[in-house]
Amino acid sequence: MSESRSGKNDLRIREMKAGSTTTNPKKAAEEIDQYISMMQKKFEKIKNRIMIFSGKGGVGKTFIAASIAMYLSKMGYKVGVYDADETGSVIPFVLGNSDAEIYMEESSGELIPANIKGIQVMSLELMLKEKDSPLIWQGALRTKFILQTLALTRWEDLDFLIFDMPPGTGDEAITISQYVPSPKYAIIVSSPGKLSEGVVRKAVVFLKKMEIPILGIVENMSHYTCDDGSKIEVFGKSYIEEIARDHGIEALGKIPLDERIRESQDKGVPIYELASGSEIDRSLELLAKKIIEKLSSKDL
């Protein structure tokens, strides 16, 4: 296999910054159609596709996406993560290796995802030569990048492909919702407080309009458990049960605040190794098990 390292991938990104390879609208549409066709074939080897979705930033969506991937992998499943949050890409860091590399097979042009702790990872962050430079792309270019990388990534047989979505309902969310072939599902991540309640309701409506089954809602940073066992709602009242009831979906769990989350990410060590048997370890493991149960029962 002839593979090139990050320099070749940087070239691919520079070419995309220049825009479409053709100014002919018909040819441009044909190019997109070709990507979609290639992507559909690639996804034949992927059993379950799960979008980790949030209506706003700051709720810990990427932490939940990475945790679901790590706990499913720990259970023996083959897992991949696609980092769709192009302007806020931190999945490699949260998974524990920002220096992992993505390769490209020169003969076929296929992208070989990075391997981080046994999880296959496709992330723009791992393709950028200058890590400190912001990504200044308009919506059309973001859409094209998503379709192109999904078409060219050579995933091995996967039980789960986790999409770490950007916050909100912008171009990336619409593109993945429309073009990633079914079966695909969504998990909504929220945080406590009245503001999150309204934003989550919009996310639920968006996913229902896109006809994407919702596995449930996860409330992150739900509470802090003191040494004496008492719980403090640091960010306000929980609305997860109310939202779940109103929309006929399941509340999958409440993930507590824990100072070891930061330590886990700084050291690149999974939370289940650093805090084995703790409340956060148990809650994340239970979340992964509930996802498996929901997909097994198809009761969506």
Instruction: Please list the rounded mean pLDDT of every run of 10 residues in the chain (300 residues).
Output: 42 40 69 89 93 90 96 97 87 92 89 95 85 64 88 94 91 91 94 85 91 95 92 90 90 95 90 94 97 80
Would you say 60 is a known binding-site residue? yes
Cα 191 to Cα 213: distance, rounded to the nearest angstrom: 21
Would you say 58 is a known binding-site residue? yes
Q: Specify the pLDDT at position 2.
A: 39
Q: Is 276 exposed, middle or buried (0-12, 13-18, 19+ CB in 10 A)?
A: exposed
Q: Specify the pLDDT at position 21.
A: 47
Would you say 57 is a known binding-site residue? yes
Q: Specify the pLDDT at position 191.
A: 92
Would you say 139 is a known binding-site residue? no
Q: Specify the pLDDT at position 87.
A: 77
Would you say 62 is a known binding-site residue? yes
Cα 299 to Cα 213: distance, rounded to the nearest angstrom: 10
Would you say 109 is a known binding-site residue? no
Q: Specify the pLDDT at position 288.
A: 98
Would you say 199 is a known binding-site residue? no
**Can you give the residue ranges of every domain in the chain?**
3-297
Q: Specify the pLDDT at position 300.
A: 43
Q: Is 296 exposed, middle or buried (0-12, 13-18, 19+ CB in 10 A)?
A: exposed
Neighbours of 92 (CB within 10 A): 23
What architecture is domain 3-297? 3-Layer(aba) Sandwich (3.40)
